[in-house]
Amino acid sequence: MRRFLRIAGIVVGAIVAVALVALVFLVQGPAVPEHSDYQLDLATMHKLAEQTAGPRPIKINAAAVARSNPPAALFLGGVRFDRHAIVFPSYQVLYPDGSMIIVDAPPGRAFFDAQFPGSFDDAQYAAEQDALAHARLIVVTHEHADHLQGIAESPKLAAFADHLLLTREQRDDTRWLTECKFPEQVRASLHPLEFDHYYPLAPGVVLIKAPGHTPGSQIVYVRLADNSEYLLIGDIAWDMEQVTIPKCRPRLAELAMRENSDQVTSELRTLHNLAASNPDVHMVVSHDAKQLADYESAGIIGKGFAPADGK
């Protein structure tokens, strides 16, 4: 009996040790390479930002639709037991005449109650929904529900669908669009954007493909009339420290979302290098609550949307 208990203890101990090693492995991220072939050339972006005739935008505003505090280990990685504040914003690129481009649109309260419990701002969500109905163009950084479902669930979607510009990769990603409850008849009717790497969307705004987090992930570059520059990088990183260090999100999250880690880590290296050599370029990480608060306090990003009439 004693021998059996000793053997059982050894087996249990081995299982626990393997489980701990697996857990540590899963909460760490894949290594970021020292060198990257992913291209982000500011000179090219400057040129393309001027390619479309018209005045450049004057401001970027954010509508923080929801906030949550998930476990930091799942969000930032590492063996830790604290929580980390995150935010779910929509962005408004505002032009001098009051017209706007909307980037990303988080969904309504029901989604967050089920997926990311925390706080929900009905006024910000209403402002987002109103802006969608009046926007000159609408784009998304990628096709996950917390960035796209606010569009999918809009009762006015059919009326503004002509202003929604999904890329070919985004439109054809039926897995995530189905999860977003995107109406199939609208999806099938969309004429997607097709381009190689850069696309001049509008005066001062350029799209840059950045697949990996999803097949249709992209960066939105914005150059305002005062020459201030922004890179809305979506979810390539979930927190700015993942760019500045750089480090990738934990493997557990990567596996759950079926990311292409080679692409994401390559993009992180390029973003890290660009941030280090161009500190005046404002990188905007979608879910970084502290970064958004700091940008709002400094006036780099406006807090809340301007009304659809621009007044």
Q: In this structure, is residue 22 part of a structural domain?
A: no
Q: In this structure, is residue 280 part of a structural domain?
A: yes
Above pLDDT 90, what percent of the chain? 84
With cut-offs at 50, 70 and 90, classify the pLDDT of residue 262.
Answer: very high
The yes-or-no verdict on residue 12 having pLDDT over 60 is no
With cut-offs at 50, 70 and 90, classify the pLDDT of residue 19.
Answer: very low
Q: Which of 7-21, 78-92, 108-122, 185-199 has the lowest mean pLDDT?
A: 7-21
Q: In this structure, is residue 19 part of a structural domain?
A: no
Distance between CA 187 and CA 171 in Å, rounded? 7
The yes-or-no verdict on residue 210 having pLDDT over 60 is yes
With cut-offs at 50, 70 and 90, classify the pLDDT of residue 99.
Answer: very high
Report pLDDT for 138.
98
Q: In this structure, is residue 204 part of a structural domain?
A: yes
With b for 16 or more beta-carbon neighbours within 10 A and e for fewer, the 216-252 pattern comes to: bbbbbbbbbeeeebbbbbbbbbbbbebbeebbbbbbb
**284 membership: H or E segment, kind and range:** strand 281-285
Are 142 and 180 contacting, i.e. CB atoms less than 8 angstroms apart? Answer: no
Distance between CA 194 and CA 112 in Å, rounded? 32
With cut-offs at 50, 70 and 90, classify the pLDDT of residue 297.
Answer: very high
Domain that holds residue 231: 31-303
Is the preceding peptide bond at 57 cis, omega within 30 degrees of 0? no
Report pLDDT for 310.
45
Q: In this structure, is residue 11 part of a structural domain?
A: no
Q: In this structure, is residue 25 part of a structural domain?
A: no
Distance between CA 232 and CA 205 in Å, rounded? 11
Q: What is the CATH number of the domain that holds 151?
A: 3.60.15.10
pTM of the model: 0.92
The yes-or-no verdict on residue 5 having pLDDT over 70 is no
Residue 122: CB partners within 8 Å, gap ≥ 6? 109
Are 79 and 113 contacting, i.e. CB atoms less than 8 angstroms apart? Answer: no
Are 293 and 241 contacting, i.e. CB atoms less than 8 angstroms apart? Answer: no
Average pLDDT over residues 201-221: 98
Q: In this structure, is residue 35 part of a structural domain?
A: yes
Q: In this structure, is residue 111 part of a structural domain?
A: yes
Average pLDDT over residues 173-183: 96
The mean of the pLDDT values for the chain is: 92
Domain count across the chain: 1
